Structure 1
Amino acid sequence: MSRSIFRSISRRGLVSAALAAAALASPMLAGAQAFPSKPITLIVPWPAGGSTDRHLRGLAEIASRHLGQPVIVNNQPGAGGTLGPGSMALNAKPDGYTIAQFPMGMLRIPHMQKQQWHPLNDFSFILGVSGYTFGFVVKGDAPFKSFSDYVEAARKSPGAVNYGSTGNGTSPHLLMEEVAAAAKVQLTHVPYKGNADLMQSLIGGHVMAASDATGWDKFVDGGQMRLLVTFGESRTKRWPNVPTAKELGYGVVSSSPYGLVGPKGMDPAVMKTLHDAFKKAMDDPKHLELLEQLNQDLWYRSGEDYAKWAAETFARDKALIERLGPAAK
């Protein structure tokens, strides 16, 4: 066989191989470029109507426009906000069509009881979104005119004074246990599934007080509830006359940042598509207006930075759970 004929055959072989490789790759590329081709489910692990639900529904609506597909909120409350994300980690495909809010309880509950999922290893971290403004409220006609009144009542009647929160191991629960430890009083904790049922219980007089994020805002502004203290680094713009726990000498500051995650093993290209769409939604004026209504701040973190923060927080909160002991559970 002459060299020219050999070179011609070799060239044809290379071209054929290249075309074959392109044919094999094209469906994969098309699949990646086509995402999303159907609606995306966003699991919100709290009942409808609370501050987290209000926030993420608004954010999802804006993100839908950037994704070209609806982002449908699916409320899956329970287990202090860990039921929904935990179920996703165990059951959902890592294809980007099921994502979830990742509350702080995900980094705490595993220190309190064994779980089938791991908070770091079983999730893909998409981006950090926001944090809460936590406050402590009582009914508008309650005898407690200040947070000091509430603490003094607990001091006089150990265990007889109670409060509700959105569940065991959540930030509203643990920050109150930190306050109780600092004040050397005994409080009785009543866990609820989320903000909506907690607010109904407080309005109905079934619990004496409530520790939660700003799902109580309309009740405070309407006079049905009284806001006694907030737990930020400084006083809020919306309720500037209400002191912080830090001001009152309790040394407790909490915002409980949260973001969005998917199951482990997600395609980086799909994660980038989700990240970019939700980041644009976060910066949208309508979203910023919603955050102002909820008295929340942006807490943007890239997926990489969010995963790093989660690992550091998981280690740090182990020490918090151990320090609080049985009160944390």
Structure 2
Amino acid sequence: MNREKLRGRFVVGMSIFFLSALLVLPHAAWCEYPERQIRLIVGMDPGGPADLLARAAAIGVQKYLGKQLILENRGGGGGALAHAQVAIAKPDGYTLCTTNNTALIDMALMQKVPYKPLKSFTSVAAYCIGENTALVVKPDSPLKNFNDFKDYAKKNPGKFKYSTPGVGSGLHVAMEVVGHKDGLQLVHVPHKGSAPAMTALLGGHVDAASAGSQWVNYAKGGQVRPLVSYARQRVPDYPDLPTLKELGYDFVHDLLAIVIGPAGLPADVVKKMETAFKMATETAEFKTVLANVGRDPFYCTGAELDRHLKERWVKTEKQFKDAGIIKEAATEPY
């Protein structure tokens, strides 16, 4: 009798198990990421190249995923405010951040930030590159070339004001490298993105702008004049414009637009977003904006981006110490 009862209980138990499995498995299939809209924090204020590129990429990402991306601009601190928000977000793939490699690495070397650049995040992808950045002035400026700028800054210590997208941005670092090598006392005026930094120059609030790649369009429109480029090679449309590298400065501004998430993002989420951003870079909308803001095509996976960021930390920390910009890193990377 006891044996029959045990057998009956076993059969009932197994029946419940299999019925539960039939209910759970289809539900798991329905829950494939993403189930809902995704929050994409943009590390700059609206209107600049970073914002325009993020919005263009979002169009392609949304088409691939079939879910909406809600873009949220969090300028300030050279990207630190945006990074801090994503660092404390739940690692479920519904809060991501688009920023750049210099904002994530260079700034943390120069000033203390509330996260660990190489520990607090999961690398997702890089989706374009920009090198054609430059120091620019208004057309009516008495400074006609880079030597004019240096002569003026030497004769007028603490008076030359320049704008940038923020503290620790690559465009800030470029001027720090020049200032330390030549002993110049320059006045840095940081802003919350490239657009307001350029507006400050056009409005006559600063003497120059250490400008992102959008300077080319402003120059073609007769609104600014470049003094020196931060690119690896001379800008094709400005063959007479020298680069910092050829003038003897150990600096090239290789700006990657990147996507990061909180530490601990599941591998399937990373893979899905890698593919989504790869597809986005191939859309007509993205290619048009890419050309308009002077950036170049580039893509790499999360694993490749992770290696780049680690290598950049080591290289940039040494460069900053050698140039006298820092004595020690302001933030621990891990």
CA distance in 2, matches of 1:324, 1:169: 15
| 1:317 corresponds to | 316
Q: Cα RMSD over matched residues?
A: 2.7
| 1:79 corresponds to | 77
TM-score relative to the length of structure 2: 0.86
How big is the shift at 1:259?
A: 0.8
Is contact 1:46–1:77 with CA below 8 Å preserved after alignment?
A: yes
| 2:170 corresponds to | 171
How big is the shift at 1:254?
A: 1.4
Structure 1: gaps (5+ residues): none
Amino acid at match of 1:112: M
Summarize the Cα distance change of 1:279–1:237 in structure 2 as closer, same or farther, 3 Å threshold. same
Q: Which moved more, 1:9-18 or 1:316-325?
A: 9-18
CA distance in 1, matches of 2:248, 2:311: 27
Structure 2: gaps (5+ residues): none
DSSP 3-state at the match of 2:57? helix
Amino acid at match of 1:58: A
How big is the shift at 1:299?
A: 2.7
Aligned positions, number: 322
How big is the shift at 1:213?
A: 0.8
Is contact 2:181–2:323 with CA below 8 Å preserved after alignment?
A: no
Summarize the Cα distance change of 1:28–1:321 in structure 2 as closer, same or farther, 3 Å threshold. farther
Is contact 2:108–2:168 with CA below 8 Å preserved after alignment?
A: no
Identity within the alignment, %: 33
How big is the shift at 1:14?
A: 6.9
Amino acid at match of 2:68: P
| 2:97 corresponds to | 100
Is contact 1:137–1:226 with CA below 8 Å preserved after alignment?
A: yes
DSSP 3-state at the match of 2:214? helix
How big is the shift at 1:88?
A: 1.7
TM-score relative to the length of structure 1: 0.87
DSSP 3-state at the match of 2:154? helix
DSSP 3-state at the match of 2:141? coil
CA distance in 2, matches of 1:191, 1:111: 17
Superposed, which structure 2 residues align to 1:202-241 within 5 Å?
Answer: 202-241=201-240
Is contact 2:134–2:227 with CA below 8 Å preserved after alignment?
A: yes
1:148 correspondence with 2:147: yes
Superposed, which structure 2 residues align to 1:237-316 within 5 Å?
Answer: 237-316=236-315
CA distance in 1, matches of 2:235, 2:251: 15
CA distance in 2, matches of 1:18, 1:237: 67
CA distance in 1, matches of 2:321, 2:189: 21
CA distance in 2, matches of 1:145, 1:22: 75
Is contact 1:236–1:295 with CA below 8 Å preserved after alignment?
A: no
Superposed, which structure 2 residues align to 1:186-201 within 5 Å?
Answer: 186-201=185-200
Per-residue CA distance 1:116-171 (angstroms, 9 max, x = gap): 32112221111111222211110111011111211121122233222121121110
Amino acid at match of 1:45: G
Amino acid at match of 2:87: A
How big is the shift at 1:321?
A: 3.5
| 1:117 corresponds to | 115
| 1:138 corresponds to | 137
Is contact 1:177–1:327 with CA below 8 Å preserved after alignment?
A: no
Summarize the Cα distance change of 1:79–1:205 in structure 2 as closer, same or farther, 3 Å threshold. same
Summarize the Cα distance change of 1:156–1:116 in structure 2 as closer, same or farther, 3 Å threshold. closer
Is contact 1:45–1:84 with CA below 8 Å preserved after alignment?
A: yes
CA distance in 2, matches of 1:322, 1:251: 12
Summarize the Cα distance change of 1:218–1:203 in structure 2 as closer, same or farther, 3 Å threshold. same
Amino acid at match of 1:100: C
DSSP 3-state at the match of 1:77? coil
How big is the shift at 1:49?
A: 0.8
Summarize the Cα distance change of 1:254–1:117 in structure 2 as closer, same or farther, 3 Å threshold. same
Q: Which has the higher helix share?
A: 1
Is contact 1:183–1:250 with CA below 8 Å preserved after alignment?
A: no
Is contact 1:161–1:208 with CA below 8 Å preserved after alignment?
A: yes
Amino acid at match of 1:150: F
Amino acid at match of 2:210: S
